Each structure stands twice: as C-alpha cells, then as structure tokens.
Amino acid sequence: MHAVSETLGGWYTMPRMRRALLLTAAAVLSGAAIVSGQPGRSGAPAPLSPRNASYTITARLDPATRTITGAETITWRNITTVAAAELQFHLYWNAWKDNRSTFMRERALAPSDGDRRRTADDWARIDVTAIKVGGDDRTAAKRFITPDDDNADDQTVMAVPLAQPIAPGMTATIEVEWRAHVPRPFARTGAIGDFFFIVQWFPKLGVLQDEGWNCHQFHASTEFFSDFGVYDVSLTVPGKWPLGATGVEIKRFENTDGTTTYRYYQEDVHDFAWTTSPNYLERTARFEHPRLPPVEMRLLLQPEHAAQAERHFDATRTTLRYYGEWFGAYPYGHITIIDPAYQSGAGGMEYPTLFTAGTRWIAPRGVTTPEGVTVHEAGHQFWYGMVANNEFEDAWMDEGLNTYSTARAIAQVYDPNVLALRYFGGFVPWVFRDVVLSRETEGNRLPGYRRDAESDTPSTPSFRYFPATGGSITYDKTALWLNTLERWLGWPVMQRIMSTHFERWKFRHPKPNDFFDVATEVAGRDLGPFFDQVYRSSNVFDYGVQDLKSERDGGQYRTTLAVRRYGEAIFPVDVAVTFSNGEHVTEHWDGTDRWKLYTYDRPFPALSAQVDPDRVLLLDVTYTNNSKTLEPKGGSAATKWSLKWMVWLQDCLLSWAALV
Ligand SMILES: [Zn+2]
C-alpha cells in the first residue's frame, strides 16, 4: 500500500487490467463516439460530464527557442438554448506579451508581486495562424475583443464570426493551428532553464451560456472557466525527457529525430496541463480506502527533494481520504503531483488530475511545507476540478471552499500544527513547537481577513476585486464564514451541505445562489440573512462587552452588563455571565440592536462576562473585546507574563500572515 518505486513510466507499472480499460476507453472515444457527441455506446462507461468541448491536440516543444507549435481539433457541441453566431477563444499567453495587457496593468496594482526586469525573450505570446470551422477557413475573420474593459492593447480573447450559426444541439468541428513563445514564468506558467511548465497554453473556447459567451480577458488575480470534455493530447519533447500531464500516458514513440512523443488521454475534465524537464525523478504510490476507489499517485520531483517523496504522497492521501469521506469520491483513478523547479514560480497550482506542490531543500517535520500546499492543491480536484465554478466571477466558490476544507483536513492529521517561520530568504526554517496554530483562526487565515475585511464585497465579480487584497476576500473571508456556519449549525449539517453541493454540482458549473440554495435546503432554515451579511456586504462583525459592574444593593449585588454591536454586520450571539459562586448564566442575543443591557440581582457579584463564549462567529474582527473580568483570577505577575506572551504570539502571527 505504501509501495514506492522509481520507474520510467507510470503507465508501464500500472496493473494490466487498468491499462486495458483505459485503452478500450481511448479506442472507443477517439472514434465515432466523440464526434457524434453520444459517448456511452459500444459498452463504454457512461460519461461523468456533458463532454461538449473535447480537444485532440498535437504539439511540439523546441526548448532552444522556447517555442511551441500546435494544432488542435475541437469537437464542440452547443448545449445552450441559443445559436452561436461566433466563437470566442481564450489566448491566455497574450497577457504576457507586453506590459500593456489588462493582466499586467492590474498586476501593477498588487505590489507584492515584485516583477523582475525581463528581456524581450522572457515575454510570451500565442499567435493563431489558421482556424477552420466545419472546414470553412475563418482565419481572416478573427479579431481580438475586450469584453471586460476598453483596453485596446489586450489580446487575450479572440472572436471568430461564423458564416453559419451553430444551432442549439449541433456539433461543430473546429481546427486551429498556432505558434507560441514560452515565457520566463508568469503566474506559474513558463520555463526556467530546462524546466517547462506548460499551462493555459492552447487556444481554448470560452463557455457559451444562454446569456451568450462567457469568455473573460485574463486578469491578474483570477483564474479560469471552461467546459468539460475529452482530451487526447500528443506532445513531442526532447528525447527521453520525463513528462507529466493531465490524464494518463497511453502511448509513447521514440522519433527518428531523437525526440519523444507522449500521448495522454483524459475524459471528463475541463483543462489540460503538462510539464517536462530532464531533471525530474519519478516515484509512484497508491491510495487505498475501504469505501473509496483506489488512486494511482505519480510524483515528479526535483532530485534535491528525493527524501520528501513520502510526505507528498501522505499529504495527497490526506486529501483523497478526507475530501472523499466528507464530500464525495475522486473518480479518475490517478493523480499526478508535480514538485516544480526552484524559482520556477510554478508551485501551488491546480489542473485536472495534476497539481503542483512546492517544498524547500530544508523542510523538517513540523514545517507543513510541502503538506499544506499539497493538501490544498489536491483539494482543488474537488472544488474547481469536478465542481467547476466560474473562477473569473465567483473565485470564492473554489478557493474559499477549498481553504475551509484544507484547514479541516490538516487539523485531522497534522495535530498539533505548530508555527514555522522561514528566515534568510526562506532558506532556514524555524519551528516554534510551543506555538500551536488553530484551524479556526490561522487555518482559515483570520489575519488576512482582518487586514482587508472591507476591501471588497464578495458578490462583486472576482475579477473586479482590488488585485492586491482580493485574496483576503476570496480565500480568507469565505473560509471563515464557512467555518462559522459549521460552528453554528454543527458539523453533521455542514457536512451534508458540502456533500449535497458536491453531488449536485460535480461536472457542472454552479453559481453562488446554487450553493446558498443547497445550504438553506439542507439546513432546513432560511440562511438568506446570513448570506446577505457575509456575501452581499463588506460590513464587519464585532461584538463586545461594553461594561460590566456588580454593586452592593442592600443584601444583594446588582450586576449590570452592557454588550454592544460595534460592527455593522449582524449575527446572533450568546452572552455568558459567571458569578462568584460559580453560577453561569447564558443569554441568547439576536445581535440586531446596537447594544443590549442585562441586569441581575444575586447574593453574589459577577466575576466575568463574555460575548460569543464558544467563538462561533469566527468573523469577529476584534475578539479581544469580547470579555470582561471584574477580579483577575491570577496574580499580577501571571497577568504580566501572559500579556508579554500574547504580544509575542501576536508578533509571530502577524509575521506569519505577512509571509503567506
Ligand atoms: Zn487554491
């Protein structure tokens, strides 16, 4: 089960039965079934997805000139109710043609990116040299369009008007030829030395919806959106360079010119990524579980990280196990983990059946690099890979759900998860074994949310978030409100919300209201007011104890407690009071008014009061004002020391927050 072997090709180590199955599927689907759009005949397994955008691609990489020449045949079926009068394609690499693209202009607003000086050869481009639709040459008709802004210099979306509209239900065959230049890495894409990480690399159709084409320009802080299909891709690279890609290798040719051609195949995915480098080491292992299908794991890693192979597999197993148990099974049977080259900038990114992790040469146990990033990126196979939301518009639906899920999975296995910081340019890690990170606050990235809480309203299309702070809303705020929902409704209900959403929307494109509808339906109560607060507003939550007094009044003590809503956002909170005889009183406040007064007449004075004592509301931006104590329990020395400790801890967490 934990077998690890070093091999030249995962395909050749695959059990014979699996190989036969894959070849059968490939043979069936590369024939009539793809073209007719009616897979499932000839005894092939029923498709998991609509498969309305399938790509057969051949491409050749020339590493010396960093050039890719490619040709693709797209079999596209119009699954909407409207006719398509034109086609729209993403040409993502044109975002890195020069610094006048929308991507580069937006990136300039995010100072943390720290762009290096680039030579002319470090930039990218993708030029479509020919396009035919149903045999009709449309090359002269193609033009660039800018659906999101008026930037006439942006060339990341190409429109191709058609001579004949494609009616609903009809299938078109589209043939495209192109030539592209591989950049020095931008946004986890490109080449450094002889390491090539090739993603978002081919002319790719947008998504036709009943409202028309959804084909956004490439933006600095958002990702991608496309339809599901079958990918059959043949890649020619220098002889014997190991290659990793979406899907599984079904054929390999050694060509007379010394190059190698790999053919990869994958059904029911919406993208295809690949990587090659002569330096990759290959390891394989297997995920097994009593109630989930097995998964062959293939790891391509840098030689200097050879000792960390098992850690990558274990972290991937963590995701496959917990996401599988909580949300639903990973159905593809194989997954490829890429450990990218040092300074390639390719770490921590997801593609169907393939993702990049990222580690360092020194990564002692306790430093959850590579575990944190591996669990997260493997997790995107579920939130993004299968449940395929529009990442341009609703990035929180994959990144936020996945940040919440990652923190939950990490807490199952890496417990306690302790603080680790890196010094000297990231080379030297230091593990603070006595500083335990909590899933609820650090795992869900509370420091980032607190910093940028009001920077954007989540319901704004994600590509319009301010680039420098968008991540805090997309990842951090979403994870915090999901975990708040879990603490409020209980995990059994939350688990059913997540698994129902997964089951209902896998291999489809959910919108935010689809998630909110599932949550309300499963919880059996109207959660609309909650989503109004956390999703349709940028207001912050901050409840606190304004005042607590216990004054002698005859033989009694009169205790008055004033609690206050300091923030604009509203959430029901408990208020707990403890008296000196040990008595506890819990009040349930709907949290709507700006303040509320509680009074008690008791023979004993109050000791302390606390708003939200169980910290259900993880979005509360100032938890330190949530409690008040009338008599310190410890001596003054203990208080002094604990305050010092708190300041030090806060410093650590702030530094940590600045690093992630
Ligand atoms: Zn992510």
Distance 377 CA to ligand 1 centre (A): 6
Question: 399: Cβ–Cβ under 8 A, 6 or more apart, which residues?
Answer: 383, 471, 474, 475, 478
Span of 174-188, 264-278, 338-352, 453-467 with lowest mean pLDDT: 338-352
pTM: 0.87
Distance 442 CA to ligand 1 centre (A): 16
Distance 103 CA to ligand 1 centre (A): 19
Tokens read off for 359: 């580690």
Distance 162 CA to ligand 1 centre (A): 37
Distance 349 CA to ligand 1 centre (A): 7
Mean predicted confidence (pLDDT) in 538-564 = 97
Share of the chain above pLDDT 70, in %: 83
Mean predicted confidence (pLDDT) in 119-133 = 95
Short-list 170, 202, 173, 352, CA closest to 267: 352
Higher pLDDT pick, 128 / 444: 128
pLDDT at 372: 86
Distance 357 CA to ligand 1 centre (A): 11
pLDDT at 517: 98
Distance 249 CA to ligand 1 centre (A): 26
Band (pLDDT 50/70/90 cuts) for residue 431 is: low
Distance 346 CA to ligand 1 centre (A): 13
Higher pLDDT pick, 413 / 523: 523
Cβ–Cβ under 8 Å, residues 597 and 573: no
Instruction: Compute the distance between CA of residue 48 and CA of residue 386 in angstroms, rounded to an integer.
Output: 10
Give the pLDDT confidence of 219-228 residue by residue, as tens digits: 999 999 999 9
336: three-class secondary structure by DSSP: strand
Residue 647 has pLDDT above 90, yes or no: no
Residue 117 has pLDDT above 80, yes or no: no
Higher pLDDT pick, 38 / 639: 639
Residue 110 has pLDDT above 60, yes or no: yes
Distance 376 CA to ligand 1 centre (A): 6
Give the pLDDT confidence of 476-506 residue by residue, as tens digits: 999 999 999 999 999 999 999 999 999 999 9
Within its chain, how far is the Cα of 97 from the centroid? Answer: 26
Superfamily covering domain 2-278: tricorn interacting facor f3 domain (2.60.40.1730)
Tokens read off for 643: 């305050």
Distance 445 CA to ligand 1 centre (A): 13
User: Which bin fits 114, alpha (ψ -120 to 50), beta or left (φ > 0)?
Assistant: left
Mean predicted confidence (pLDDT) in 608-618 = 97
Short-list 203, 263, 269, CA closest to 237: 263
Higher pLDDT pick, 390 / 41: 390
Distance 591 CA to ligand 1 centre (A): 33
Span of 112-126, 188-202, 512-526, 646-660 with lowest mean pLDDT: 646-660
Distance 88 CA to ligand 1 centre (A): 26
Q: Give the residue carrying structure tokens 């999901």.
A: 482
Distance 635 CA to ligand 1 centre (A): 46
Cβ–Cβ under 8 Å, residues 383 and 397: yes
Distance 292 CA to ligand 1 centre (A): 24
8-state DSSP, 439: I
Distance 489 CA to ligand 1 centre (A): 25
Instruction: Compute the distance between CA of residue 476 and CA of residue 292 in angstroms, rounded to an integer.
Output: 30
Instruction: Compute the distance between CA of residue 551 and CA of residue 553 in angstroms, rounded to an integer.
Output: 6
Distance 14 CA to ligand 1 centre (A): 30
Pairing of strands 349-351, 334-338: unpaired
Instruction: Compute the distance between CA of residue 312 and CA of residue 282 in angstroms, rounded to an integer.
Output: 12
SS (H, E, C) 70-133: EEEEEEEECCCCCCEEEEEEECHHHHHCCCCCHHHHHHCCCHHHCCCCCCHHHCCEEEEEEEEE
SS (H, E, C) 288-306: EECCEEEEEEEEEECHHHH
Distance 248 CA to ligand 1 centre (A): 23
Distance 220 CA to ligand 1 centre (A): 15
Query: Which residues is 264 bridged to in the sheet?
Result: 233, 249
Tokens read off for 622: 């100032």
Mean predicted confidence (pLDDT) in 200-205 = 98
pLDDT at 443: 87
Residue 127 has pLDDT above 50, yes or no: yes
Span of 83-87, 108-112, 538-542, 639-643 with lowest mean pLDDT: 639-643
Asked if 2-278 and 288-382 have one fold, the answer is no
Distance 493 CA to ligand 1 centre (A): 24
Distance 477 CA to ligand 1 centre (A): 14
Q: What does pLDDT average to over the chain?
A: 88
Q: Which residues surround ligand 1, an ion (CB under 5 A)?
A: 399
Distance 660 CA to ligand 1 centre (A): 13
Distance 253 CA to ligand 1 centre (A): 35
Give the pLDDT confidence of 206-256 residue by residue, as tens digits: 999 999 999 999 999 999 999 999 999 999 999 989 999 999 999 999 999
Q: Is the peptide bond before 512 cis (omega within 30 degrees of 0)?
A: no
Distance 392 CA to ligand 1 centre (A): 14
Share of the chain above pLDDT 90, in %: 77
Higher pLDDT pick, 412 / 31: 412
From residue 106, alpha-carbon distances to 151, 306, 462 in Å are: 12, 38, 13
Beta strands in 142-258 (DSSP E): 143-144, 157-166, 171-181, 190-192, 195-198, 204-205, 207-209, 212-214, 229-238, 243-245, 248-254
Distance 380 CA to ligand 1 centre (A): 7
Phi, psi of 488 (to 5 degrees): -80, -45
Band (pLDDT 50/70/90 cuts) for residue 205 is: very high
pLDDT at 38: 40
Distance 317 CA to ligand 1 centre (A): 18
Q: Is the peptide bond before 303 cis (omega within 30 degrees of 0)?
A: no
The domain ranges of the chain are: 2-278, 288-382, 403-534, 543-629
* Maximum distance among all Cα pairs of the chain, rounded to whole angstroms: 103
Distance 520 CA to ligand 1 centre (A): 26
Distance 414 CA to ligand 1 centre (A): 19
Residue 435 has pLDDT above 80, yes or no: no
State the Rg of the chain over Cα.
27
Burial class (CB in 10 A: 0-12, 13-18, 19+), 117: exposed
Band (pLDDT 50/70/90 cuts) for residue 15 is: very low
Distance 658 CA to ligand 1 centre (A): 18
pLDDT at 24: 39
pLDDT at 284: 98
Mean predicted confidence (pLDDT) in 95-104 = 96
Band (pLDDT 50/70/90 cuts) for residue 35 is: very low
Give the pLDDT confidence of 43-83 residue by residue, as tens digits: 678 999 999 999 999 999 999 999 999 999 999 999 999 99
User: Which bin fits 333, alpha (ψ -120 to 50), beta or left (φ > 0)?
Assistant: left
Neighbours of 422 (CB within 10 A): 17
Residue 630 has pLDDT above 70, yes or no: yes
Give the pLDDT confidence of 398-417 residue by residue, as tens digits: 999 999 999 999 999 887 66
Angle, helices 396-413/309-326, rounded to nearest 10 degrees: 110
Distance 410 CA to ligand 1 centre (A): 15
pLDDT at 37: 35
Question: 168: Cβ–Cβ under 8 A, 6 or more apart, which residues?
Answer: 78, 79, 80, 81, 82, 83
Look at the alpha carbons of 235, 237, 240, 246 in this order and tell me if their dihedral is positive or negative: negative
Residue 25 has pLDDT above 50, yes or no: no
Residue 446 has pLDDT above 60, yes or no: yes
Domain 543-629 listed as CATH 2.60.40.10: yes
Distance 27 CA to ligand 1 centre (A): 34
From residue 375, alpha-carbon distances to 311, 348, 370 in Å are: 11, 10, 9
Distance 463 CA to ligand 1 centre (A): 15
Span of 100-109, 440-449, 644-653 with lowest mean pLDDT: 644-653
pLDDT at 343: 80
Distance 222 CA to ligand 1 centre (A): 11
Cβ–Cβ under 8 Å, residues 37 and 52: yes
Residue 442 has pLDDT above 60, yes or no: yes
Distance 384 CA to ligand 1 centre (A): 9
Superfamily covering domain 288-382: Neutral Protease Domain 2 (1.10.390.10)
Distance 474 CA to ligand 1 centre (A): 10
pLDDT at 182: 97
End-to-end CA distance of the chain: 34
Distance 223 CA to ligand 1 centre (A): 10
Distance 358 CA to ligand 1 centre (A): 13
Higher pLDDT pick, 216 / 26: 216
Helix and strand tally (H, E) in the chain? 14, 32
Distance 504 CA to ligand 1 centre (A): 21
277: three-class secondary structure by DSSP: coil
Mean predicted confidence (pLDDT) in 121-132 = 96
Mean predicted confidence (pLDDT) in 353-360 = 87
Band (pLDDT 50/70/90 cuts) for residue 8 is: very low
Distance 363 CA to ligand 1 centre (A): 21
Distance 605 CA to ligand 1 centre (A): 50
Distance 354 CA to ligand 1 centre (A): 13
Distance 402 CA to ligand 1 centre (A): 7
Distance 228 CA to ligand 1 centre (A): 20
pLDDT at 257: 97
Distance 371 CA to ligand 1 centre (A): 14
